[in-house]
Every structure is written in structure tokens, then in C-alpha cells.
Chain A
Amino acid sequence: MTTKPTRRPTYYEEIRQKGYSRRDFMKFCSIIGAYMGLEATGVAQVANALQKTSRVPVIWLHFQECTCCSESFIRSSHPIVADILLDKISLDYTETLMAASGHQAEAAKAKTMKDYHGEYILCVEGSVPTKDDGVYCCIGGKSAIQVLEEAAEGAKAIIAWGSCACNGCVQAAHPNPTTATPIHKLVHGKPLIKVPGCPPIGEVMAGVIIHMITFGRLPELDRVGRPKAFYSKRVHDTCYRRPFYDAGLFVETFDDENAQKGYCLYKVGCKGPMTYNACGVTKWNGGTSYPIQSGHGCFGCSEENFWDNGPIYRQMANFPGFGIESNADEIGMVAAGATAVGIAAHAIATNLRKNKLINNVIAEGKDAEKEL
């Protein structure tokens, strides 16, 4: 690379400047290492990397979203995450948190994109509307598509935060009036990490970023591009109510005795068995709880199309094309009933239309019986 601006401080230096002790720093490294599923030596690697590397420039774009991802991130359990990774220190541009505004902000973004071409991480929160040339989301006089394409061009890697950026989430739910499109369908040829969830867990988000800083590359991804460390298991696989599921003990309604006993929420619509996320392990709000622990089923917020795979409080989805409140079983039963009627009608008609054949067979058999 050509001329660099003055040497940027390392993460560790920034952390110390912020008033954290080395002890705080090491604690942070172990916590985040544990969330990332690293072994003890991995924690040392994290500490090492944060001491040696100067901060990676980050541009964080917001499109069609509700900012719950940013909210989740700044609330992740350790304050260092918010202070160092997200605070103005690391973020060169983010609409919701940056101090600058207007032309100043746009200029800052342009500068980062130029100075750190090929080096910055592009974080995208939200989906991009593509209908009608993308007029449904414009920032600074440009459509979201343009903004995304410009920023993606020089990015080292892209992180799609949350279900909006990963699979469209609520804006893409039927009938998807703006043709809200996830990032991976718009940007090609760049390393892309999907961190789905509505929102994703703050610690997971921090873990992904720390991984990229520590190891200088993307974390290991699964087939659909999610980091394996956090998305390789279903909520159901780590759910503490799982023994009730295996026993067949289910909550029938939210106010029954079974609910008080903490039985499995499968029959009131828990989508944990289809949902890949770390909620059962990492939990939320600094490990306080997660939806199932609070008595509400998972509704699959990190899965594609989860809004259209409803209803939330029933296990079986509405069947596409047959209107609301019709699931596969209801349609199947109607079809089976119609089949039974058809069979009965056919059987009656057979006796009328084929009576000669049938009578011949019967008569032949009876004759033989008599002759014996």
C-alpha cells in the first residue's frame, strides 16, 4: 500500500487510553474468547492481536432496518465492546452513532473508503430495496443500492448484520412491497459473513469482529455463510427445556400448569428445532436469559423467511397458496377425504359398468365349486 496516514494506535492502546486497566483488558479477552469457543491459547492470541494490530477501519451502513442490531451490539455484555469497537474510535461512519452529520459525515466516509481502500470492513445493517430503482431508501441523495455498491467496492470483507441484511427479514415478508433484498444477492465477489438474528446476539457480533481482528481472516462459515462458531447448532440442541421435549411433556397453553412447570414450548409454536442460533448458550443481556427461559417459544428470528413461516404460536406453517390458517394437515385431510369419496364412487360405478366381467368370474368360480 502507498502512503499511510500517521500510525494508528493499536486496540490495546485505545483501550488503555479509555481508562481500562490491563486486568480489564485481559478479562475482556477471556470472555470474548470463551464466547468464540476458543481454547486457552486462543485467548492469548486474541490478547496478542489486540495489542499489536492497529484498529481496522469500519464503515457501518444502515438501510431498511430498525437499528436493533446496533442496539444489541452496544449492549453486549462487556463495555469494551461498545467503547472500543463501536464507539467513534473504530467506526469511521455509521449513521446512527457518529458525531458528524451531513456533508461532513459523507466526507469522512469517502476519505475512509479512499485511504483504506481494500482494507476496511464494511458492516451492513438492513436490507436494500431494489424496486423502482431503489427509491424507497435513499441516503445523502443516493439510493441504498448505490451506497452499497460504492462502499462494497473497496471493502476487505462485508459483514451482513441481522436478518434484514442476511435474508430480508420483515421488509421482505410477503408481499415485500419494496423488493427488499439481502446483501448477498447484491454484492458478489467479496468475502461476506452473515450474522442473522433479529437482532443477532451482541456477544456474537463482537465475537465475529474480534475473530477477524485476531486471525486476520473470516471465521469458519457454514454452507449459507454464517460463522460456525455461533450458528452450527439449533436453539433446540442447547435448550435447557430439551428433556421435557424428549419426554413428550409439552406446554399446551400459556396459562396451564405445564407452563408453570417449565415444560417444552414446542406445541405453543417454539421454532427452536429449526433455528440455528446461539441463544441457548450465549443467551441475552449478558447471559441473563433468553426467550425460552422467559416462557416464550423461539420464533426463529435468525432463519430465512421466518415471518412468512408463521403463525408464531403454532408448530405448523400456513400452507403456501391456500390462504391463511390452512396448514398442510388440514389440506391433506380434505384431499384424503375427497380421495375416499372418489374411491367409493369408483367402486359403485365398477359394479355397474363391469358387471358382466364380475359375474363371469363369480359364476365360473361357483360352477367349479359345485362340480367338486
Chain B
Amino acid sequence: MATHTATHKLRRVFVWELPVRFYHWLNALVIVALCATGYLIGSPPAFLSNAEASDQYLFGWIRFIHFVAAYLFFFNFLFRLYWGFVGNKYADWKNFIPTNRKFWSEMWEVIKIDIFLQKDKEHLSVGHNALAGFIYFLTFLAFLVQCITGFGLYASMSDWWFADMFVWVGGIFGGDFGLRNWHHAAMWFFIIFAMVHVYLVFYHDYVEGRGEISSMGGGWKFIEEEVFDKEKKKATH
């Protein structure tokens, strides 16, 4: 029963440019593919078949998909790093690396408001909030680990100089055994990240009503006129 509700005029802000959205969805797709095929590589199910081995290439295809997705993942990742230097302000690398006190204090605020759920408070951020940005920075490190261990394993299966550049990796992880264990364990980071990430997108959309979920589709978020003015003042100061 709504006694009195304020009505807001909303401003449309273009937050995620097309390359960022493209990166995001390609990344999501290949990570799902990599986790699924990676899991199957680690623990293949019992495929029952009467066909001759020479007529089948099932496991070969699973691995092939993993490797194709791996290349896409890697180059997409590189592309995103590049976009962090040429993209708009919400794509900028400074969103991810704590370079000043403000970054840390905003992080603390987000923790209080969104994680420990301070009563009826919201934290406004048009792009990434500081905590999210920092966590994406950690995921980038995880991407790096996964690419390095992955290509380290792949080096012995490939003749391409690019993959062969990674032969040194085995040495620091204690051979392919170590590489494989770390590569496998790191998969769980991706799975748990994805769970929390998707949940939080819903959370923000639900609590704040600013189009969080759809922003990765069209690129827009919607903020209240008053909020817009406040942000503008902050920005011009």
C-alpha cells in the first residue's frame, strides 16, 4: 500500500560501450564453455558406444572446444585490457586498481551498504562500484593464471610458436602435474565468481531499480535527475 511515492525523472546514461558489451558476453560464453569442457576433461563420463574407436572423436572434440574457447578467451581478455586505455570513463583501467584513498573508502562503504546491508541505504555508482572494480581486477589476475597454466599445458600439444612461448611455465609449477592441478582448482574460482556476480546484478537491479541487468544489453543505466545533478557537480569539481 503506497501512501505517498516520490516520482522521479530518470536520466539515461550510456555506460557500457559496444566493445565492452561484446567483450562481456563473449567472455561469459567462453567461460561457460571452458568450465564445462574443462570439467569433462578432468572427469570424463562413461560414454557408452559400440562404434569403433576410429569412428569416434568425442573426447577429441571436447578438448578441441576447450582449446578454441581458450584462444577466444585469451584474445578477448587482451582486447579488454586494451579497451581499458581507450574506452570511456566507465571502461577505464582506473576503475579496477585502487590508486587513491577515495577508492578504498568507497570500497568500505560498499561493503557496509551492500554486503552487510545497512538498513535502507543504497550506494550509487553509475559504472562499477569500487568493490566490484577491485574484484574484477582480481578476476583479471585469475584470467592471467588460467591463461598461463592453460597455455603451459597446451605448449606440448601445439607446434605454434605462440603456444610454445609458454613452455617455461611447467618449470615453476612443478611440471604438468602441478600445472594441471592449479588449472583445475582455478576453475572453481570462476564458478563461484559467476554465482556471486549474477546474484549481485539481480540484487542491484532489484534494490535500486536503475536497469542494472539490462545495462549489459543496451549499454544504458538510468539515474534519477537529482542524482544526476549531484554526480555532475562532483565530476566538475
Give the contacts of B1-22 with A (CB-CB under 8 A): 2, 5-8
- B225 in the interface (beta carbon within 8 A): no
User: How many A residues touch the partner, as a band?
Assistant: 35 or more
The residues of B that contact A70 with a CB separation of less than 8 Å are: none
The residues of A that contact B217 with a CB separation of less than 8 Å are: none
- Is the pair B120, A223 in contact by a Cβ cutoff of 8 Å? no
Cβ-closest chain B residue relative to A246? B60
- A350 in the interface (beta carbon within 8 A): yes
| A284, B46: Cα distance in complex, Å | 31
- Is the pair B5, A274 in contact by a Cβ cutoff of 8 Å? no
The residues of B that contact A125 with a CB separation of less than 8 Å are: none
- A245 in the interface (beta carbon within 8 A): yes
Give min CB distance, A326 to chain B, whole Å.
11
- A287 in the interface (beta carbon within 8 A): no
- Is the pair B181, A363 in contact by a Cβ cutoff of 8 Å? no
- B54 in the interface (beta carbon within 8 A): yes
**14 more CB-based (< 8 A) A-B contacts, given A309-B178, A319-B185, A368-B7:** A224-B170, A234-B176, A247-B57, A248-B60, A274-B180, A328-B181, A332-B185, A343-B195, A346-B115, A353-B118, A358-B206, A360-B6, A361-B207, A364-B5
The residues of B that contact A243 with a CB separation of less than 8 Å are: 53-54
Contact mask B21-63 → A, CB, 8 Å, 1/0?
0000000000000000001001110110100011111111010
The residues of B that contact A246 with a CB separation of less than 8 Å are: 53, 56-57, 59-60
- Is the pair A223, B168 in contact by a Cβ cutoff of 8 Å? yes
Task: Spell out A's residues near B (CB within 8 Å).
Answer: 222-224, 233-234, 237, 243-250, 252, 266-267, 271, 273-276, 300, 303-306, 309, 315-317, 319, 328-329, 331-332, 335-336, 339-340, 343, 346-347, 349-350, 353-361, 363-368
| A339, B177: Cα distance in complex, Å | 28
- B108 in the interface (beta carbon within 8 A): no
Specify which of A274, A332, A367 is in contact with B191 (CB 8 Å cutoff): A332
14 A-B pairs, CB-CB below 8 angstroms? A223-B168, A224-B170, A246-B57, A248-B58, A250-B47, A274-B176, A316-B42, A328-B184, A328-B185, A329-B43, A358-B207, A361-B207, A364-B5, A366-B2
Give min CB distance, B171 to chain A, whole Å.
6
| A252, B156: Cα distance in complex, Å | 27
The residues of B that contact A361 with a CB separation of less than 8 Å are: 207-209
| A223, B171: Cα distance in complex, Å | 7
- Is the pair A357, B44 in contact by a Cβ cutoff of 8 Å? no
Cβ-closest chain B residue relative to A338? B192
| A272, B220: Cα distance in complex, Å | 51
The listed residue with most B CB atoms (<10 A of its CB), out of A249, A353, A359, is A249
| A331, B191: Cα distance in complex, Å | 13
Give min CB distance, A320 to chain B, whole Å.
8
- Is the pair B53, A357 in contact by a Cβ cutoff of 8 Å? no
- B111 in the interface (beta carbon within 8 A): no
Give min CB distance, B40 to chain A, whole Å.
9
| A249, B47: Cα distance in complex, Å | 7
Contacts A303-B177, A305-B178, A364-B6 given; does A248 touch B62 at CB 8 Å: yes
Give min CB distance, B197 to chain A, whole Å.
11
Give the contacts of B169-209 with A (CB-CB under 8 A): 170-171, 174-181, 184-185, 187-188, 191-192, 195-196, 199, 203, 206-209
- B102 in the interface (beta carbon within 8 A): no
Specify which of B56, B120, B176, B192 is in contact with A335 (CB 8 Å cutoff): B192
Contacts A350-B117, A354-B120 given; does A234 touch B156 at CB 8 Å: yes
The residues of A that contact B170 with a CB separation of less than 8 Å are: 223-224
Specify which of B8, B181, B187 is in contact with A317 (CB 8 Å cutoff): B181
Specify which of B42, B62, B117, B199 is in contact with A329 (CB 8 Å cutoff): B42
| A36, B47: Cα distance in complex, Å | 39
Q: Which 8 A-B pairs have the closest CB atoms?
A: A332-B188, A363-B2, A274-B176, A248-B58, A248-B59, A361-B209, A247-B56, A246-B60
Cβ-closest chain A residue relative to B51? A247
- B233 in the interface (beta carbon within 8 A): no
The residues of B that contact A331 with a CB separation of less than 8 Å are: 185, 188
- B109 in the interface (beta carbon within 8 A): no
Cβ-closest chain A residue relative to B3? A363
| A244, B54: Cα distance in complex, Å | 8
- Is the pair A304, B174 in contact by a Cβ cutoff of 8 Å? yes
| A303, B174: Cα distance in complex, Å | 8
Contacts A223-B167, A248-B44, A303-B177 given; does A336 touch B191 at CB 8 Å: yes
Specify which of A237, A252, A306 is in contact with B177 (CB 8 Å cutoff): A306
Contacts A317-B181, A357-B122 given; does A336 touch B195 at CB 8 Å: yes
- Is the pair A250, B181 in contact by a Cβ cutoff of 8 Å? no
Cβ-closest chain A residue relative to B187? A332
Contacts A234-B156, A247-B53, A366-B2 given; does A357 touch B120 at CB 8 Å: yes
Specify which of B8, B54, B167 is in contact with A364 (CB 8 Å cutoff): B8
- Is the pair A315, B43 in contact by a Cβ cutoff of 8 Å? yes
